[in-house]
């Protein structure tokens, strides 16, 4: 009886804590520089949650090591809901390329996926994908591509292209998406598999040429641009996702509250209207669904890393 009493008492305490949450400011840590999808989505969610909760929700950028520095920080935080992590698909890459992560994947749990986006293959030097492929095959090891860092989603999107097209191209990692985009626009790097949200303006004003989008269907923002599959690399597909994680051990009632409040923000028409022009679609999920997405992508990226001998060291 005493055991049952303590279990019920603990559950009641957790429910009360969830109802009273938040009683102080909440932090969302972003493992990348400002301007990328994890930052854009986190800042919108933070703004809206501040309005809903009446407590400040602050966004902090802690770039480094493909987002693993920030992930380690959040994994070590108290599991009380006051520290969250905004991630991209790159989070599923961590265990595949970093032999000594400052955390284990099980140390973080899904709150919800926040959005999905497509990549667009851009270049300042090539006018179409066939030109790029011909140049890469004519001079193996001469053509290079930029990314937001080793292990980033932009890195692995290009690695999938490299594998499917059977080309030998060189990876040039940068600290973040803005830096990778800038060096692609100047021509110092030949191409970049960039998130549409970041490359759209440069494509529209002619600073970059869009050679293909990463989905199997064309994108409404760039309807004239073929898919990479249509343009010559059959079956190519890579989708970028964003989401929020919490330290393992967050009480279930609190995790449910976080999920419900954030899903409500993501489901509001204002969110879709704000994100649509930059190519991000709100795609809220349950915590369990998001955990499953991460596990499945981690298995895929581990295979890619092994086949391409990719390592962060």
pLDDT one-digit tens code per residue, 105-121: 999 999 999 999 999 99
In CATH, the architecture of 2-116+240-308 is 3-Layer(aba) Sandwich (3.40)
C-alpha–C-alpha distance, residues 244 and 268, integer Å? 18
- What DSSP designation does 276 have? G
Beta bridge partners of 244: 86, 112
* Helical H segments across the chain, by residue range: 2-20, 37-53, 68-75, 94-97, 129-138, 153-165, 177-185, 196-204, 228-231, 252-267, 269-275, 287-308
C-alpha–C-alpha distance, residues 272 and 113, integer Å? 14
pLDDT at res. 15: 52
**Could you state, in order of their start, the residue ranges of all structural domains in the chain?**
2-116+240-308, 118-231
Superfamily classification of domain 118-231: Periplasmic binding protein-like II (3.40.190.10)
pLDDT one-digit tens code per residue, 137-188: 999 999 999 998 888 889 999 999 999 999 999 999 998 888 999 999 999 9
pLDDT band at 13 (very low <50, low <70, confident <90, very high): very low
C-alpha–C-alpha distance, residues 244 and 57, integer Å? 13
C-alpha–C-alpha distance, residues 129 and 122, integer Å? 9
- Stated length of the chain: 313
Identical fold, 2-116+240-308 and 118-231: yes
Q: What is the reported pTM?
A: 0.82
């Amino acid at each position: 009886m005493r055991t049952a009493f303590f279990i019920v008492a603990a559950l009641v305490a957790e429910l009360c804590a969830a109802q009273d949450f938040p009683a102080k400011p909440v932090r969302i840590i972003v493992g990348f520089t400002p301007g990328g999808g994890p930052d854009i989505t986190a800042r919108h969610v933070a703004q809206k949650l501040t309005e809903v909760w009446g407590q400040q929700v602050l966004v902090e950028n802690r770039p480094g090591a493909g987002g693993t520095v920030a992930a380690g920080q959040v994994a070590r935080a108290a599991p009380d809901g006051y520290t969250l992590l905004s991630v991209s698909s790159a989070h599923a890459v961590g265990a595949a390329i970093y032999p000594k992560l400052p955390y284990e994947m099980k140390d973080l749990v899904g709150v919800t996926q926040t959005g999905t986006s497509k990549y667009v293959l851009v270049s300042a030097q090539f006018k179409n994908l066939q030109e790029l492929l011909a140049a890469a095959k004519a001079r193996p090891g001469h053509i290079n591509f930029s990314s937001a860092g080793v292990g980033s989603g932009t890195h692995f999107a290009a690695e999938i292209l490299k594998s499917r097209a059977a080309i030998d191209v060189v990876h040039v990692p940068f600290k973040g998406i803005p830096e990778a985009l800038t060096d692609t626009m100047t021509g110092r790097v030949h191409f970049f598999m960039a998130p549409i949200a970041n490359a759209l303006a440069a494509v529209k004003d002619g600073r970059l040429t869009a050679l293909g989008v990463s989905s199997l269907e064309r994108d409404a923002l760039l309807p004239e641009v073929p898919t990479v599959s249509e343009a010559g690399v059959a079956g190519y597909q890579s989708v970028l996702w964003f989401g929020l994680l919490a330290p393992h051990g967050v009480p279930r009632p609190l995790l449910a509250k976080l999920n419900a409040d954030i899903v409500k923000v993501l489901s509001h028409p204002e969110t879709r209207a704000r994100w649509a022009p930059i190519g991000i679609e709100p795609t809220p999920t349950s915590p369990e669904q998001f955990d499953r997405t991460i596990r499945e992508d981690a298995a895929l990226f581990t295979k890619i890393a092994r086949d391409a001998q990719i390592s962060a060291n």
